[in-house]
Amino acid sequence: MAASSKKKPANNRPNIGWVKTSNGKRVPKRFTINGTPAEFRQRVTALKQLWDDVCVDQQTISGPGVDLPNPNPPVWSGWAVSFAERLQKGELTITVPPVQYERPLNYAIRINMLKATYPSLHIIATGDYEIGQAELTEGMNEHVKRDYVKTGRIQTAAPFTSGELGTLHGALSDYIEWLQVEYESPEANETITDTGDGKTRMAKSFLNRFDDMPLQALDIDGIETIVQYFRNRPAKMLPNGKPSGKSMAVRSCRNAIKELFFFMRWLHRNKKYQWQLPPDAMFISRQIKETEDEVNEQAKDTPVYTIEQLTILNKYATPIERVFFLLGLNCAYGADQSTRLRVCEVDWKTHLIERVRYKKKTKSTHKLWAQTMQGLLWCKGDRTNGSTERLILKKNGESYWRKTKGGARAKDAPKLFNNLVMRVQNDFPDFPWLGFNALRDTSINLVRQHSDGELSSTHAAHKHQTDDKHLNAYSNPRIQKLFLVLDMLELKLAPVFEAAGLHPFEQPPKNYLGHKTIEQINDMLKDGKRPVEIARECRVSNATVYRYRNKLK
């Protein structure tokens, strides 16, 4: 084979600059550069110039009217990582488009700051940059204009003369440490609760999204700028810290603003930092911007499964999938509630589950259907009724309710349900993909359609079953009425239970054809068709047809 006309340099993977790993270690950043020797030299030069810009930018921690020395050595981070990867591919002209919902003013500020921070780059703006630039410079006095053109930043706060207040990243780091103590988990196999884990991940995302700055910059204008940033729904960040190109979900932005104010209230009370929450911060608008399509989507009915679809799911489920399926349908349990269930929380004589839903601090009681009880007995095995172990375990004895090495909640149960739906969709391509928690929605919807809102709220273990939030302090929920509704639903869902067969918790033989194909083969055999014709029509081997014919004898 002829050799390529392009000769690659002997070492096309140079180390330029440094990067911080997930465990905080600082290691050299290696780039892979392909192309001719001339292209290689051009890209390496551009990367080295960008690294020089990064070093200059990270020498200090900048804020309104002040530059504090940065004690940390420079590393590739933020926008610089994205730009460096584009340079190594040969994209020497960097186009930075506006993100979804970004106002021209905010876009102009972002472009100007990038140009001021990375002067070696040839950054091209698109969209309404000129409109935003005109809006930005309108009304500026000459002193502010000169400073803005020079630095790409608008200095509006009073000069910062002391570092006693600390910096944003330092305060966030202390806040994260406080969260580990405040939300310490009582469980033996984990260190922090799910709530604390979610708040910690949100606080860490602030560290990745915002440059460090003196806390004095976090005045009323600074707070409103950050809130506006989330109200405009910025790009979602990938686990590696890079923007994904998709806007954050409305709920995620709402949670981010909520966590920001949690952090600021903690900061206000912390004596280490001489920072006060501005009184007017409570008047800052927090409404998230939504598109018409998103509003219309929210106005639609909650997607739930029909009885026909539930019948198909139970028919195709394996024994362990069927246990989670029945708990979701019988007790309105999501993945977390199903996997947390303990042996001792089931009354094995009265066929009831009595437990506390810790998220809402409410007691939930559910009467179990016959097939649900059969599945739980299968999971229990020979363990004692009073055991405090998790009821549903894997074959290796590990609980489905656990945390991964990275600290995230394991999604083993939702994956089981996803596998079930995938098998169903192989035979029924139009079968809806609603997700594991749609079983919970379906269960609550069935109770509501056959009773009322109060009983459906009781079934869902909500904290308040009626508009009167104090009613539970003076009365008890109508549990017996709920039991009658569940008895009625058990009769109504009889086809769903029958689809599981006579032995729903016996491990079925491996099936590589799918239920639909097997039923088709059996029906054609019963009709007396020749095995060769059946194999041709069903697209299987002759031996497969003969094997199923022998089973029918």
pLDDT band for position 523 (cuts 50, 70, 90): confident
pLDDT band for position 101 (cuts 50, 70, 90): low
Task: Tell me how far apart the alpha carbons of residues 266 and 428 are, in angstroms, rounded to a whole number.
Answer: 53
**What DSSP letter does each residue of 282-323 carry, written as one string?**
GGS--PPP--HHHHHHHHSPPP---HHHHHHHHHH--HHHHH
For residue 68, give every residue at least 6 positions away whose Cβ sits within 8 Å of its Cβ, in sequence order, or none: 60, 61, 163, 167, 214
pLDDT tens readout for residues 19-72: 877 666 788 999 999 888 889 999 999 999 999 999 988 887 654 444 567 777
Helices and strands (H, E) in the chain, number of each type: 22, 11
Over range 503-529, report the average pLDDT: 82
Q: Angle formed by the axes of helices 307-316 and 412-427, to 10°?
A: 100
Task: Work out the percent of the chain whose per-residue pLDDT is above 90.
Answer: 34
| Higher per-residue pLDDT: 148 or 533 | 533
Tokens 């405090």 sit on residue: 388
Q: Angle formed by the axes of helices 542-552 and 531-538, to 10°?
A: 120
pLDDT (0 to 100) of residue 165: 56
Task: Tell me how far apart the alpha carbons of residues 471 and 417 are, in angstroms, rounded to a whole number.
Answer: 37
pTM over 0.75: no
- Identify which of 51, 59, 39, 52 has the alpha carbon closest to the alpha carbon of residue 76: 51
| Higher per-residue pLDDT: 288 or 404 | 288
| Higher per-residue pLDDT: 59 or 262 | 262
Please write down the long-range contacts of 287-290, taking CB distance under 8 Å and 24 or more positions apart.
Answer: 287/231, 288/230, 288/231, 288/233, 288/250, 288/253, 288/254, 288/257, 289/101, 289/231, 289/232, 289/233, 290/250
Over range 157-180, report the average pLDDT: 69
pLDDT (0 to 100) of residue 482: 93
pLDDT (0 to 100) of residue 461: 86
Strands 362-367 and 352-357, by their bridges, are antiparallel
- Checking if the pLDDT of 493 tops 80, the result is yes
Strands 93-96 and 122-125, by their bridges, are parallel
Domain-wise residue ranges, the chain:
15-139, 168-299, 307-499, 515-552
Residue 314 contacts residue 497 (beta carbons within 8 Å): yes
Bridge partner list, 356: 363
Amino acid at 386: G
pLDDT (0 to 100) of residue 102: 66
Name the 3-class secondary structure at 367: strand
pLDDT band for position 152 (cuts 50, 70, 90): very low
- Checking if the pLDDT of 266 tops 80, the result is yes
pLDDT (0 to 100) of residue 71: 75
Please tell me the total number of residues recorded for the chain in this structure: 553
- Identify which of 52, 333, 413, 401 has the alpha carbon closest to the alpha carbon of residue 194: 401
C-alpha dihedral, 441 to 447 to 448 to 453, nearest 10°: -100
Tokens 């069935």 sit on residue: 446
pLDDT tens readout for residues 288-331: 888 787 777 777 778 899 999 999 999 999 999 999 999 999 99
Residue 514 contacts residue 540 (beta carbons within 8 Å): no
Most confidently predicted of 356-360, 395-399, 415-419? 415-419
Q: Angle formed by the axes of helices 168-182 and 250-269, to 10°?
A: 90
- Checking if the pLDDT of 88 tops 80, the result is yes
Residue 183 contacts residue 193 (beta carbons within 8 Å): yes
For CA atoms 251, 255, 257, 258, the dihedral sign is positive
393 torsion bin: left (phi>0), alpha (psi -120 to 50), beta (else): beta
Arithmetic mean of pLDDT over the chain? 83
pLDDT (0 to 100) of residue 164: 44
pLDDT tens readout for residues 115-127: 888 999 999 988 7
Tokens 């509630």 sit on residue: 337
pLDDT (0 to 100) of residue 406: 67
For CA atoms 535, 541, 544, 550, the dihedral sign is positive
pLDDT band for position 345 (cuts 50, 70, 90): very high
pLDDT band for position 139 (cuts 50, 70, 90): very low
User: Would you state the structure tokens that stand for residue 186, as one six-digit string?
Assistant: 């009582």
pLDDT (0 to 100) of residue 26: 86
Query: Residue 264, exposed/middle/buried by CB under 10 A (0-12, 13-18, 19+)?
Result: buried
**What DSSP letter does each residue of 151-215 carry, written as one string?**
HS----SPP---STT-BHHHHHHHHHHHHHHHTB-SSTT-SB-HHHHHHHHHHHHHHHHS---BG
pLDDT (0 to 100) of residue 68: 64
- Identify which of 395, 252, 415, 434 has the alpha carbon closest to the alpha carbon of residue 335: 415
Bridge partner list, 125: 96
Task: Tell me how far apart the alpha carbons of residues 211 and 209 are, in angstroms, rounded to a whole number.
Answer: 7
Residue 3 contacts residue 62 (beta carbons within 8 Å): no
Architecture of domain 307-499 in this structure: Orthogonal Bundle (1.10)
- Checking if the pLDDT of 211 tops 60, the result is yes
| Higher per-residue pLDDT: 484 or 111 | 484
pLDDT tens readout for residues 427-441: 888 999 888 989 999
User: Would you state the structure tokens that stand for residue 356, as one six-digit string?
Assistant: 């506390």
Q: Angle formed by the axes of helices 307-316 and 319-331, to 10°?
A: 150
pLDDT tens readout for residues 442-492: 999 999 999 888 899 999 888 777 777 777 777 888 899 999 999 999 999
C-alpha dihedral, 133 to 138 to 139 to 143, nearest 10°: 40
How many angstroms from the chain centroid is the CA of residue 506? 35
- Read off the DSSP letter of residue 69: E
Tokens 């700028």 sit on residue: 225
